[in-house]
Structures are given as C-alpha cells and as structure tokens.
Structure 1
Amino acid sequence: MSETTRILRAAAHAATYHGLQTGAHFADSTGRLDMVAAIYVGATGKTPHSFTNDNHTACLLIETNEPVMAAIRAVSAVLPTDIPTDAETGLYCHIEHLAYWQEDRQHTTGQPPTHTEVVGVLLRAAADNDSVETPSPLIPAQRTAA
C-alpha cells in the first residue's frame, strides 16, 4: 500500500471521527474538518490551530507537505468536476477544487455532498491510487506439451 493510499484511508477515518463541515476555514471550533483538513489529519495526525482561524497559514502548511498534496491531487483526479486554475500562474488549484466540490458537488444544485459521498470519494481515490501503484501479478505463460 502506498503512502498516498494510507493517507486517504486515514483521512476517511478522520472525516468520520471528527465530522465534516463546510465553512470559511478548514476546521470549525468544534473540531469538524473539511475534506482537505481531513487529508492533512490523515497524514499527520494533527489539526493545527490555524485551521480554525488563519487560512493563509493553513494553506502554507498544506501546500508545503508533499504527501498531503499528493493525496489532495489523487482526490482531485477522481472528482467529476473541472480543476480550477490560478489566474496568474495558470497552475491547477487542487485545494480549491476539493473545497468547491465540497460546497456544491454539481456546481448547479447548491447542495453539498453528504458525509457518505465525501468518505466515498476519499476511499475511491485510495482504491484508484492503490490500483495504479500496485503492479498486477504476473500470470505465468502456459506450458506447452513436450
């Protein structure tokens, strides 16, 4: 199992244990997490204080942690919506992609995904990542009769 797969599975557990929220910050005062924060907690086991009150510092913590970003990119890859790009750099904004999807999964309904849908996306990304990183067993060639 790859590190990204392990992080995503732990994130699904963190989301279930702490609860999910959509709000102005990565976590709320009761400890509930958004999907990105659940991934960070799955990777590190910690919820930084900045997650509840300082998005700039929280983003720096997330963006500088490559295992966390790899897991975020894996989730972004399984979402059915387009990844937004930064207007100045043209680079993909994977954190925003997850945040936008968690606010409105269809971008038309105004309805956030259910808890089950969020956990399902985390586990689907883990399964997809595991299938890509785990080579399939080789099937030996059939022997010919002597």
Structure 2
Amino acid sequence: MTYTPKVLRDAADLINHQGLHTGDQFVAADGALDLVAALYQAATLILPTVFRTDANQAITCIKGSQRALTAIRAVYDTLDAAYPEVHDTDDVIDTVSHWAAVGDAGPDQQPPTTSEVIGRLLRLADRLEQQDTALAA
C-alpha cells in the first residue's frame, strides 16, 4: 500500500480542524492552510515558518518532499479537464492551490467549499486504496 492515501486523509483532517486558506501565502494569520500546505504538512509532519512568510521558499520545501509532491500530483490528476495539462512541478503546485481557491476551470467556475475539498481528498484516498488492493489481489 502506498503512503499517499494516508497523506490525503491527514490533509483532510488538518483542513477540517484548521480551515482552508485561499489567499496570499500558504497559511493564513488564523492558521488556516492552503490545500498544498496541508498536503505538505500531512506528508512531512512539519510546516516551516516560510509557509507563512515566503511562498517561493515554501515551494522549495514542497519540491523537496517526494511524498508531498506525489499527493499534490494525485489531487492534480482529479481536476477538471478544462485545466490545461501541465508537467512542470511549479505549475502542478500552483494549479492545485488555484483549484482550491477558485474551483474547476469550466465556464461555471465556483470556488469549492471546504467540505468539497475535504470530500475530494477522502474520495481520492479511498480510490487509491482500492487500486492498491486490486493490484495486490
């Protein structure tokens, strides 16, 4: 079994308890987390101060965690087909963060609610676990 479903579930739990941040930086003044920050913290069990103060340094931290990147990529792969396909790591990170702030890229674009973001993470975790179980059988 891969580690990604646990990261997704833990990120959902973090967002549920701390809130979903969709503004500047990766962490709000009240502690609410951007989706990407929640995935990073769930993957690494830490959240450096730069997530509050320096987005570029935060992205450098994210790119240094394969577990976080794998979870972020898994979320990216669930996004609406209207989002352009990107391969650059920075673009994948930006797209996932952008989705949580504004929603799918279609004409009826609406920001997802916190519950919708959490639901997507949990459904994806379930799906990945089911795939692992099927492959092991």
TM-score range, shorter chain: 0.7 to 0.9
Match of 1:141 in 2: none
Residue 103 (1) aligns with residue 101 (2): yes
Q: Deviation string for 1:41-88 (max 9, x for gaps)?
A: 111222211111101110000011000000111111112242453xxx
Q: Is the 8 A contact 2:44 2:65 kept in 1?
A: no
- The structure-2 alpha-carbon separation of the partners of 1:41 and 1:91, relative to structure 1 and needing over 3 Å to count, comes to closer
Residue 129 (1) aligns with residue 128 (2): yes
Report the aligned-residue RMSD.
Answer: 1.9
Match of 2:41 in 1: 41
Q: What stretches of structure 1 of length at least 5 have no aligned partner? A: 139-146
Q: Deviation string for 1:85-109 (max 9, x for gaps)?
A: 3xxxx63621111112112113345
Q: Is the 8 A contact 1:84 1:97 kept in 2?
A: no
Question: Which structure has the bigger radius of gyration?
Answer: 1
Farther-moved stretch of structure 1 (17-26 vs 40-49): 40-49
In 2, Cα distance between equivalents of 1:100 and 1:84: 14
- Which of 88, 93, 116 is matched with 1:91 structurally? 88
Matching residue's letter, 1:91: D
In 2, Cα distance between equivalents of 1:103 and 1:38: 14
In 2, Cα distance between equivalents of 1:52 and 1:6: 24
Q: Which has the higher relative contact order, 1 or 2, with Cα contacts under 8 A spaced 6 or more apart? A: 2
Task: Return the TM-score normalized by structure 1.
Answer: 0.82
Match of 1:61 in 2: 61
In 1, Cα distance between equivalents of 2:84 and 2:132: 23
Report the number of matched residues. Answer: 134
Task: Return the TM-score normalized by structure 2.
Answer: 0.86
Match of 1:144 in 2: none
In 2, Cα distance between equivalents of 1:122 and 1:51: 21
Q: Is the 8 A contact 2:79 2:104 kept in 1?
A: no
What's the offset of the Cα at 1:122?
0.9
Percent of aligned pairs sharing the same letter: 34
Q: Is the 8 A contact 2:22 2:100 kept in 1?
A: yes
What's the offset of the Cα at 1:137?
6.7
SS of structure 2 residue aligned to 1:28: coil
What's the offset of the Cα at 1:136?
5.3
Q: What stretches of structure 2 of length at least 5 have no aligned partner? A: none
Match of 1:142 in 2: none
